[in-house]
Amino acid sequence: MRIIIYYILLFFTLSSSGCVGLKEDTDTLFQVSTINALLNGAYHGSLAIGSLKRHGTFGIGTFDALDGEMIGLEGRFYQIRADGIAYPVPDSMTTPFAVVTHFETDKTVFVRGRMDYEGLTGYLDEQTPDKNIFYAIKVVGTFKYMRVRSVPRQKQPYPPLVEAVKDQTIFEFHDIKGTIVGFRCPDSVKGGVNVPGYHFHFITEGRKAGGHLLACQLQEGTIAIDYTSHFHLVLPQQDNASSQSLPNKDRTEELKKVEGK
């Protein structure tokens, strides 16, 4: 109960700060539901992609019944299913969880020299000095190695996310070009709002394959960063919370397993 009250208070705080309704504000991160709701098995799609696009065309998430990984890039959305293939998404499809923004580059850096996931995030830490805001991040480059995953569509009654990802499919790429899409969230999202730190998805240059990023070795690329200071959260509906209140518990370890960290 306390965590639900926390979300409600957060929502009204955001409303009073002027974030709600800022559909055209490019510095707003728009989020559907919470990571705690997703961890709890709330996979029922609540917002159509056509409506989501009004709030942002760059981002990540998933689809109804946890059917694959979402990538929004350059105004188009893709669904990476359990076969690893990237499918164009019609506006009628729905999402239970998504994070999007209208990407506008505030900073660009070019990197060269092999850099693994830890090296990349460490470098990004240096490029994102204000740890109290959100950052939308796009890395377009050549990768010596890329390891991603996708999760198959789930059946009701939906299992918790930590159980669902046990059936994930892993894909590995070598010497491939593509784009990393994602966000760096501040520590203030702890408690079940979102994933603190980095959360990335990947799609190949030809928009043919991809998934949730687990590991990589960047050879060279261009990093574009969008500073995002506003946050608009759409709370999960009661009928999208596995027909029960979200448990007030620390899910940090579950989140680490789900993220593959």
The reported pLDDT for the residue numbered 26 is 77
**In contact, 133 and 186? CB cutoff 8 Å:** yes
pLDDT at position 20: 41
DSSP helix/strand/coil, 251: coil
What confidence score (pLDDT) does residue 244 get? 45
- Alpha carbon of 232 to those of 20, 100, 101, 195, 224: distances in Å? 6, 10, 10, 15, 22
* pLDDT at 259 (0 to 100): 77
| Pair of tokens at residue 186 | 């501040």
The 3-state DSSP class for residue 245 equals: coil
The full set of domains in the chain, from first to last, is: 2-259 (3.30.1330.80)
* Cis previous bond, 96, omega within 30: no
Beta strands, E only, the chain: 28-32, 47-48, 58-62, 69-73, 76-80, 86-88, 94-95, 98-101, 107-116, 134-150, 169-185, 197-204, 210-228, 230-234
Query: 74: alpha, beta or left, given left = phi > 0 and alpha = psi -120 to 50?
Result: left
Six-digit token pair at 181?
């899409």
Q: pTM, whole model, 2 decimals?
A: 0.87
What's residue 236's pLDDT? 83
What are the CA-CA distances from residue 259 to residues 76, 177, 236, 243 (Å)?
24, 23, 21, 25
Which parts of the chain sit beneath pLDDT 50? 1-24, 241-246
Is residue 89 within 8 Å of 78, Cβ to Cβ? yes
Residue 15, H or E segment: helix 2-16
